[in-house]
Amino acid sequence: MSDLVPALRAQSGPVDLSAIATDATPGFSGKKHEGIDALEALGPDLADLQERLFAHGRSGGHRSLLLVLQGMDTSGKGGTLRSTVGLIDPQGVRITSFKAPTPEELEHDFLWRIRKALPGPGYVGVFDRSHYEDVLIARVRGLAKPEEIERRYDAINSFEEELVEHGTVVLKCMLHISAEEQKERLLARLDDPTKHWKYNPGDIDEREHWPAYQEAYELAIERTHTDAAPWYVIPADRKWYRNLAIGHLLLDALSSFQLGWPAADFDVEHEKRRLAEEDPLS
């Protein structure tokens, strides 16, 4: 296991995000160019391990991986998809981006739409935002009553425990940036006409609730950081470190399956003969 993985794992008990430097590089002492090279170097192992998982999924296996990406606007969920998730064969990846719930989704329990998007056997599922929005924006914006938010923490823990029991590794990452870094990134979007589409005036409205969001994250992490489905807090002011960190977490999760290649459930020599001798097209 890489040094990064234990360094990023959330502590049990109360969480103080302000005590975690957003520009730190825990578990990695190299510079930026070394971090970029280190991520690229993970590519072959990630590809090999993901293919084993996919192969087992095709062969009756029941394991899967769910990567949950949470973070404030501009924290780099999209960049993580491109730079780190993009290292994995897209054939085995299923990404779901969760927006504000639709009227139909609002008629159901908050986990309804989440269950429909879970990765099937052998897949790496990635949630760009997730059921955690239902205890984050829902708390900050008062979209649900406090007792409902409390119920949801427990519901999430039961849900994730159930996923893990059924063979899914649940990898929850909070991309942790500073308010100053967000401001710079928002200004950069405003300064570049090719990035205006990424900007929404509502982003500043949300930004005004920054302290409340940090508190909501702290509470959510504290209440849902379990042995079955732990949280990782990723310092994300440095994009290269964020990408490398998620790469190591994915590699660690895929390694934990300890999968070889599925054994043939057919007679290999017999099939070779069928193909060589009995083939009507020969």
Q: Measured from the CB of residue 251, what is the shortest distance to a copy of itself in angstroms?
A: 17
Site for a copy of itself contains 204 (CB under 8 A): yes
Q: Measured from the CB of residue 56, what is the shortest distance to a copy of itself in angstroms?
A: 8
Which of the ranges 1-9, 150-158, 178-186, 232-240 carries the binding residues for a copy of itself, by CB under 8 A? 178-186
Q: Which residues contact 257 (CB under 8 A, 6 or more apart)?
A: 49, 52, 53, 56, 63, 169
Q: Measured from the CB of residue 201, what is the shortest distance to a copy of itself in angstroms?
A: 5
* Structural contact between residues 177 and 236, judged by C-beta atoms closer than 8 angstroms: yes
Give the x/- contact pattern for a copy of itself in 238-277, rule: CB under 8 A: -----------------------xxxx-x-x--xx-xxx-
Question: Which lies closer to a copy of itself via its Cβ, residue 146 or residue 266?
Answer: 266
Q: Which residues contact 70 (CB under 8 A, 6 or more apart)?
A: 77, 129, 130, 132, 133, 136, 172, 173, 174, 175, 217
Q: Number of residues in contact with a copy of itself, rule: CB under 8 A?
A: 50
Strand (E) positions, 82-220?
A: 93-97, 124-128, 168-176
Q: Which of 209, 201, 71, 74 is nearest to 140 (CA)?
A: 209
Q: Residue 55: what are its φ and ψ, rounded to 5°?
A: -60, -45
d(C-alpha 252, C-alpha 229), whole Å:
14
Tokens found for residue 76:
């780099």
Q: Measured from the CB of residue 217, what is the shortest distance to a copy of itself in angstroms?
A: 16
Which of the ranges 18-26, 36-44, 88-96, 226-234 carries the binding residues for a copy of itself, by CB under 8 A? 88-96
Q: Measured from the CB of residue 11, what is the shortest distance to a copy of itself in angstroms?
A: 26
d(C-alpha 112, C-alpha 108), whole Å:
6
Considering only residues 34, 106, 183, 256, which one is a binding residue for a copy of itself as defined by CB under 8 A? 183
168-176 and 124-128 as β-strands: parallel, antiparallel, unpaired? unpaired
Tokens found for residue 171:
């990898």
Site for a copy of itself contains 32 (CB under 8 A): no
* Structural contact between residues 138 and 34, judged by C-beta atoms closer than 8 angstroms: no
Q: Measured from the CB of residue 20, what is the shortest distance to a copy of itself in angstroms?
A: 18
Give the x/- contact pattern for a copy of itself in 54-73, rule: CB under 8 A: -xx-xx--------------
Which of the ranges 10-18, 192-200, 233-241, 245-253 carries the binding residues for a copy of itself, by CB under 8 A? 192-200
| DSSP run (H or E) holding 70 | strand 64-71
Question: Which lies closer to a copy of itself via its Cβ, residue 154 or residue 205?
Answer: 205
Half-sphere exposure of 101 (CA within 13 A, CB side): 20
Site for a copy of itself contains 179 (CB under 8 A): yes
Strand partners, 127: 68, 96
Site for a copy of itself contains 115 (CB under 8 A): no
Please report, as ranges, the residues that interact with a copy of itself according to CB under 8 A: 55-56, 58-59, 78, 81-82, 85-86, 89-91, 93-95, 97, 128, 179-180, 183, 186-187, 190, 193-194, 196-201, 204, 207-208, 210, 261-264, 266, 268, 271-272, 274-276, 279-282
